[in-house]
Amino acid sequence: MKKSEIGFEFGDSQECDAFFKRNPKFYPAFERLMTLANKCFGRTFHPKTRLEDVGFDLGHTCCADYGEILFLAVNGFGRAASKLLRGQFERAVGLAYIIKHPEKAE
């Protein structure tokens, strides 16, 4: 079972083993990405504006979605991962729009 230092587990399946054999550079890159994500979202946050509140929450949700999508895909559940990917994309687009138009944060 692959387990990252941040506590993320991928599972123990033939699909998972095959994924890591096909993608030997994936895991180190994933570790770096999760370290960065923890710096961004693994903290107590005290927003000063509605924009900061919405932006942090949407960003945090996108990060959580990424982990769930990745877990499903690595373990051979590509269709389920695709279903979650649509919602993640919509939240990311919404976040980008709110950053561009902060008055819309409400």
pLDDT in tens, 5-43: 445 778 788 999 999 999 999 989 988 988 888 888 888
Task: State the pLDDT at residue 40.
Answer: 85
Cβ pair 23, 53 in contact under 8 A: no
**Residue 18 confidence (pLDDT):** 93
Q: Above 80 in pLDDT, residue 45?
A: yes
Among all chains, which residue has been given the structure tokens 């005290």?
Answer: 46
d(CA 21, CA 8): 19
pLDDT of residue 34: 86
Question: Distance between CA atoms of 69 and 86, rounded to whole angstroms?
Answer: 10
Q: Tens of pLDDT along 53-71?
A: 888 888 888 888 988 999 9
CA atoms within 13 A on the CB side of 84: 17
H or E element that contains 10: strand 9-11
Q: Where do runs of H (alpha helix) occur along the chain?
A: 14-22, 26-41, 50-74, 78-100
What does the pLDDT read at residue 19? 92
